[in-house]
Chains A and B, each alone.
Chain A
Amino acid sequence: DTGVSQDPRHKITKRGQNVTFRCDPISEHNRLYWYRQTLGQGPEFLTYFQNEAQLEKSRLLSDRFSAERPKGSFSTLEIQRTEQGDSAMYLCASTGRGSTGEGTEAFFGQGTRLTVV
């Protein structure tokens, strides 16, 4: 297993266009997260899947954003009608099952750098 894989690594798009990113988590990881990172900030939580179920969405995820994880494997994040403020690094992370009462570290992909011009 080569870790969490994200595609594409870079995306430049014109304002108003739709974009879709893909994340392939570590196999057998049941938890998948999307984060967004802008310059000078830490990653900010966007949404979380446990298997195929999207269990939590941040208020940062406007109705122009949609995420899916069909069959509980890879996930896609789509942004419709992109705006310049959407320019950021979009990070995907996955974790396995944590022991009861304990946390577990998330493994991040290399991210997709989105630039909206």
Chain B
Amino acid sequence: DQQVKQNSPSLSVQEGRISILNCDYTNSMFDYFLWYKKYPAEGPTFLISISSIKDKNEDGRFTVFLNKSAKHLSLHIVPSQPGDSAVYFCAASLSLGTYKYIFGTGTRLKVLA
């Protein structure tokens, strides 16, 4: 049972435009969500997170939106840059207990120059 789903395996966006990556989850107990970026042959790098008490968190060009009623979160990158090309994973966890993450399957973003 895939508790965290990223239904778009790939996305291509023109440089300077907005990239929107989506993520859905099924476990309503999740209360902490994160986005990680991964380049080939490297470990995931933390990008941005959001607690379930918020519906938006912004850090520079990156904004994460959380819709708890829809069990949906999204990552907006504005403006997109060629260096943003990577695989993006969303992850969810419970803030109590082990804090282990459940990851989605990833979305490969390609930003075209």
Contacts and interface: CB of A to CB of B under 8 A. Distances in A.
A56 B34 contact: no
A85 interface: no
Nearest to B95: A103
A12 B34 CA distance: 32
A48 B98 contact: yes
A95 to B, nearest CB: 6
B75 to A, nearest CB: 14
Contacts of B100: 33, 45, 48, 56
Give the contact-size bracket for chain B. 20 to 34
A98 B103 contact: no
Contacts of B101: 33, 43, 45, 106
Nearest to B9: A40
Interface residues of A, number: 30
A31 interface: yes
Interface of A: 4, 6, 31, 33, 40-45, 48, 50, 55-56, 91, 93, 95, 98, 101-111, 113
20 contacts: A4-B43, A31-B98, A42-B104, A43-B89, A43-B103, A45-B100, A50-B98, A56-B100, A91-B44, A95-B99, A101-B95, A101-B96, A103-B32, A106-B99, A106-B101, A107-B46, A108-B36, A108-B45, A110-B41, A111-B43
Interface of B: 4, 6, 31-32, 34, 36, 41-46, 49, 51, 89, 91, 93-96, 98-106
